[in-house]
Structure 1
Amino acid sequence: MFSVGLLVFVAAAASAIEVNNIQQLENAKKGNNKVITLKNIQVPAGQSLDLMTNLKPGTTVEFAGRITFGFKLWDGPLVKIKGKNLNIVGKPGHVIDGEGRRWWDGKGQRGNRKPNSIYVQLEDSKVTGLYLKNAPAWGFSINGCKNTHFQQITVDNKDGHTKGALNTDGFGVAASRNVRITNSKVNNQDDCLALQSDCDHIYFENNVCEGGHGIAVIGGYGNPKPITNIFIRGCQVIKNNIGIRVKTMRGGKGLVKGVTFDNIVLKDISDTGIMIMGNYYNGGPNGNPTNGCPIQDLTINNVRGNVYKNGTNVRIVVANDASNWKWNSNVAGGTQKRECKGAPRGVRVPC
């Protein structure tokens, strides 16, 4: 009986491994390890923590302790994750620490090169509980994902408000299908969510966005493929300059169809509560809106809250190709009136 128990114990132990330095990681991925725990790793400058190559389907990867990175002016990413049927887990007390202050210069993308933090390309997978602190640039770049759920994620860049961070988007999503981001928190200096072209059935639900530039759906930026069936629900946007917005590029091509903002609370927005624009260029509204990337089947429902006195509650500047909007909002406090043109006929917008 003792020998049988020992064999069972050895087999179980062989299916899990703890990795404490980057050199051990490749062997861990090549072995028959069902669970790989990354603990207190110091990643050399200019290298990615590579969970992209040789990571077998069905693997659980755990982040434990403090994960840090050497300093280099480069594009990153600091961590790259790719695969199918993966379970990526943040253990209690862990931190993926980008130590962004080493790169921050108050200029964002226009300044020194800064690495993006976590690049993710997953199918049929789950990412739970990751804590990213002080990202040098973008937080999570979600690209080419399918049937993947991100939950209980924290992007904590609040130190950057006083130390020169800029363009630290929380979640950037592109070319993805059936992706959920739920019960997560972002404190940053750019878009909380930046959702771009070639996306379908993206769900951003029960999340808290603080300190940044709000929740943005961005059409016609580079890739002309459409954005369809986007559901942003149950979120709070706190102390951002913008609350929620759909923006299409001036001169861009594509389609934004089926975007729903439902049950969104805006609190202490400094510039604009709700912004729908078709003339985004060089960082903001610029010139006349253009046709080519229409905003169709847009639903604004139960979007409510306050804008600071010098701000604008609702601002719309789109061309004449918008259609089938539904609007129900109660955003108050802003006294500055700006453009309100291009909404489909019959839609009452409280600009």
Structure 2
Amino acid sequence: MRSFIPIAAAVLPAVLARPQGLNGGFGGFGGDSRPDSGSYSQGGVGGGFHTVGGSFGSRPLQSAANGHGSLPEETATASSASVSAQYTGSIDHEKAKASGSSSRYGSSSATAAAAASVTAAGSNAAATASGGTALSSLAGGSGVGGTTCTVTELSEVTASASACSNILLDGVTISASQTLSVTVPSGGALLFAGTMTVEYTPDADYTPIVLKGSNAKIAGLAGAVIDGQGSKYWDGKGSNGGTKKPDHFFKLSDLESTTLEQLTIQNWPTHLFSIDGCKDLNINNLILDNSAGDELNSDGDKLGHNTDAFDVSSVDGLSVTSATVYNQDDCVAVNSGSNIVFDDLYCHGGHGLSIGSIKSGVTVSNVTFQDSTVINSQNACRIKTIADDTDSTVSDITYSNIAISNITNYAIDVQQDYENGSPTGNPTTGITISNVTFDSITGSVSGDDAYSSYILCGSTSSCKDFTYTNIDISGGKTECEPDASLCPS
């Protein structure tokens, strides 16, 4: 069903210290439900949405993991304050995941508290007091945020996008072979609530979610989860064979001056985000959890394969901040684009922070990875180009303040020898890599075959102007071709 909700104001709970609990999320819209006055609810500032529909009366949205709607004013105010105070400071990622009690995987009481917003008169002062942001800011306008459509069926999305400023997807299921394709209204918002399940579709050409728009906000409410049911696909082969799998799960296409935040996504089949053709896109506070794919198959390989989190192409202006990633392939792979920053990432189990593999005829420039952690992964900081490809440049790349631990292949890696997704050992010179800075890369590699640094370039002209400062990596070997000047001293 779809309901139309004029919104007076709403708040977001305090942003918790990263990594956040499932997922910190937004608070709810709420207010006085009116079963006798048509299909709307006049919003105040409240805990859960209320959908009103004729004789059915009001229905509270299950906006948190515990499934409750609005809290009383006193409870909501106290809970919002306490959860903000409780989850500050550092988090032990592994203990947090194991216990389920950290701000990332928060306990049910913490999640419920995070979902509650201040039940006051709808003023921005109340929002500020709770550490949140008014809906007017969320929706990109001033004053009232406009009309919000609550959608529970995929078939209602198109009409809602035409009729309303904001769209709330409440527990929508994406049926087999169907696509959630939305151009978010300019100045509006697309919100996710409850659990969105994407049904099994063994098709390499299938993309379940495609979002476009400009000057928009895309966000998850507290407790919202998008589940790709990856275990139905995983066979250790990824997109290289076996069961057919959607090649990308979530496509962000041609978004401009838009923010995506507070989403939790789990169990995607292969590559997660395709970020393509976007300009001035801001992404923050994501939990991307494919850890279930770490289970081993009969050959001893992880079931999840080719599960990149962020694949980036043809962007101009991209900022990704505070993302927690558990996967089995690249945490990030930048394939083309400029003016890109990845900040405060936590990457576990995959292939690290990558540029490439770079093919012919593209430009990668002004890319920064900073203040991030790469742990229990094959690689940490990596640049790779395709052998025999030409007419591409990779320039002004910075890796700064990257903490690494238990890296089994390469901590610092630059290679010009890739072909069909694998290194050949024979570098070429057709693509130039220049002005690369590695600063404050610290931690350890493990295993007899691990490298603290591995540089394999075709020449000192195709790889040039590499700068290393404050490199402190324990363990591993060093190899540098064609000249030792390309490696840390």
TM-score by length of 2: 0.66
**Are 1:327 and 1:347, in contact at CA under 8 Å, matched by a contact in 2?**
no
Assess, with a 3 A threshold, how the Cα gap between structure 1 residues 13 and 23 changes in structure 2: closer, same or farther: farther
- Contact 1:219–1:293 (Cα < 8 Å) also in 2: no
Match of 1:314 among 440, 443, 453: 453
On the 8 A contact 2:455/2:486 being kept in 1, the answer is no
- Please list, as runs of the form range in 1=range in 2, the aligned pairs for 1:53-132 lying within 5 A after superposition: 55-74=184-203, 75-111=205-241, 112-115=243-246, 116-121=248-253, 122-132=255-265
Q: Which residue of 2 aligns with 1:256?
A: 394
Question: Equivalent of 1:196, from 320, 325, 335?
Answer: 335
1:140 aligns with 2:273: yes
Q: How big is each residue's C-alpha offset from its partner over 1:72-113, in whole Å with a ceiling of 9 and x where there is no partner?
A: 211321111011111001111010000101111111111222
Render the CA deviation track for 1:254-292: whole Å, top value 9, x for unaligned.
110000001111111111111111101233321311011
Q: In structure 2, what is the equivalent of residue 36 of structure 1?
A: 167
Q: 2:314 aligns with which of 157, 163, 175?
A: 175
Paired residue secondary structure (1:263): strand
In structure 2, distance between residues paired with 1:285 and 1:26: 45
* 1:156 corresponding residue in structure 2: 289
**Paired residues, what number?**
338
**Inter-partner Cα distance in structure 1 for 2:447 and 2:408:** 8
Local SS of the residue matching 1:30: helix
Corresponding residue for residue 271 of structure 1 = 409
- 1:205 maps onto 2:343 in alignment: yes
1:341 equivalenced with 2:478 (yes/no): no
2:377 is the counterpart of 1:233: no
Contact kept? 2:365, 2:395, Cα under 8 Å: yes
Match of 1:327 in 2: 468
> How far apart are the structure 1 equivalents of 2:293 and 2:264?
16
User: For the Cα contact (< 8 Å) 1:219–1:227, is it kept in 2?
Assistant: no
> What are the superposed Cα offsets for residues 212-246 of structure 1, whole Å, 9 maximum, x if unpaired?
0111101532x512100001111100100111101
Match of 1:3 in 2: none
Give, as a single letter, the amino acid of the residue that structure 1 aligns with 2:250.
Answer: I
How much does 1:342 deviate?
A: 3.2
The CA RMSD over aligned residues, in Å, is 2.2
Structure 2 residue matching 1:23: 3-state secondary structure: helix
The Cα shift of 1:14 comes to: 7.3
Give 1:79's aligned amino acid: I
Cα deviations across residues 123-181 of structure 1 (Å, max 9, x unaligned)? 00000011110101111110001001000111100000006110000101000011001
| Identity value in percent | 29
Cα offsets for 1:320-344 (capped at 9, x unmatched): 121111112221112x45x41135x
- Structure 2: which amino acid aligns with 1:93? G
In structure 1, the residue matched to 2:89 is: none
Contact 1:120 1:141 in 2 (8 A): yes
CA change 1:114–1:347 in 2 (3 A) is: closer
- Give the 4+ runs in structure 1 shifted more than 3 A: 8-14, 345-348
Q: Determine helix, strand or coil for the equivalent of 2:160.
A: helix
Aligned partners of 1:160, 1:101: CA distance in 2, in Å? 7
Aligned residues of 2:464 and 2:486 also touching (Cα < 8 A): no
Rg (Cα) greater in structure: 2
Inter-partner Cα distance in structure 2 for 1:9 and 1:96:
26
Structure 2 spans left out of the alignment, 5+ residues: 1-36, 44-143, 297-302
Q: Would the aligned equivalents of 2:279 and 2:315 in 1 still touch at CA under 8 Å?
A: yes
Establish whether residue 217 from structure 1 lines up as the match of residue 355 from structure 2.
yes
Q: Which residue of 2 aligns with 1:48?
A: 179
Unaligned runs of 5+ in 1: 1-5
2:149, 2:487 → 1: CA distance? 60
Alpha-carbon separation, structure 1, partners of 2:159 and 2:446: 55
The SS at the match of 2:447 is coil
The whole-number CA distance in structure 1 between the counterparts of 2:487 and 2:425 is 24
Which amino acid in the other structure matches residue 224 of structure 1? G
